Amino acid sequence: MKRIKLLSFLAIFTLVLTSCKEEKKEAEPTTVENTVNYVVKPAATSVKWTAYKTTEKVPVGGEFATLNFDEKSGATPQEALNDLEFSIPISSLFTKDDSRDEKLKASFFGAMLNTELLKGKIIYLDDKAKAQITMNGVTADLPLKISITDERRVSLKGTMNLKDWNALDALASLNKVCYELHKGADGVSKTWEDVAIEVNTYLREN
């Protein structure tokens, strides 16, 4: 009888110890790592453009000094850049030539609809990037070639054809006020309808 009681006690004691160990294992805290490592910030982002004049296609460079968007983060550069919405005030256009700046603002953008802002969104999926840009009341896609170096320095380049935004009348308006300035050696005044766009940014670490 004593042997049976002893065996019963040992069985119950073993069961209690096993249950305690299992409960302790279940109660162990789990560690959740923060995987957000890339942040896009306006202060680290620039927008430059290059237009062309004369039949020799002489480049004329400029930039937009202000680019507005909310900081956006992601676990990868693609996630941080994808669906990033932005707006660009036309008033921030800058070419280091006050006279040229005023002509561009008044005779080019001023000849369009909704002349206060350019708006858009970056779409970056499956290693392909584009910008959906709204200008002159028209939204169209601008395919972008993307380059990422050192994992954080990003360059987005594309060529905007103004006819895709119904902006050829605005281009003609600009060429009219710049007629003499856009003449080449052949005496022909020309303002090209393609504009090169370059966006550069640095993805900060969160």
Q: Is the pLDDT of residue 14 over 60?
A: no
pLDDT at site 10:
44
Q: Where would I find the H helices in the chain?
A: 2-26, 77-81, 98-103, 168-177
Q: Which three-class secondary structure string do you get for 35-58?
A: CCCEEECHHHCEEEEEEEECCCCE
**Residue 203, amino acid:** L
Copy the structure tokens of residue 150: 């050192």
Going 99 to 102 to 106 to 109, the CA torsion angle's sign is positive
pLDDT at site 7:
43
Would you list the DSSP string of 75-95?
A: SSHHHHHTTEEEEEEGGGEE-
* Main-chain phi, psi angles of 9, to 5 degrees: -65, -45
CATH of domain 38-205: 2.40.128.110
Residue recorded with tokens 């008044």: 106
Quick one: how far is CA 51 from the chain centroid? 21
Q: Is the pLDDT of residue 17 over 70?
A: no
Condensed to tens digits (0 to 9), the pLDDT of residues 106-140 reads 999 999 998 899 999 999 999 899 999 999 999 99
Separation of alpha carbons 106 and 104, rounded Å: 6
pLDDT at site 36:
61
What would the mean pLDDT of 144-169 be, rounded to a whole number? 95
Copy the structure tokens of residue 22: 């299992």
**Closest listed residue to residue 59, CA positions, set 198, 200, 196, 173:** 196
What would the mean pLDDT of 154-165 be, rounded to a whole number? 98
Helix (H) or strand (E) holding 31: none
What would the mean pLDDT of 12-21 be, rounded to a whole number? 48
User: Could you tell me the residue ranges of all domains in the chain?
Assistant: 38-205
Question: Across the chain, what does the average pLDDT equal?
Answer: 88
Helices vs strands, H then E, count in the chain: 4, 12
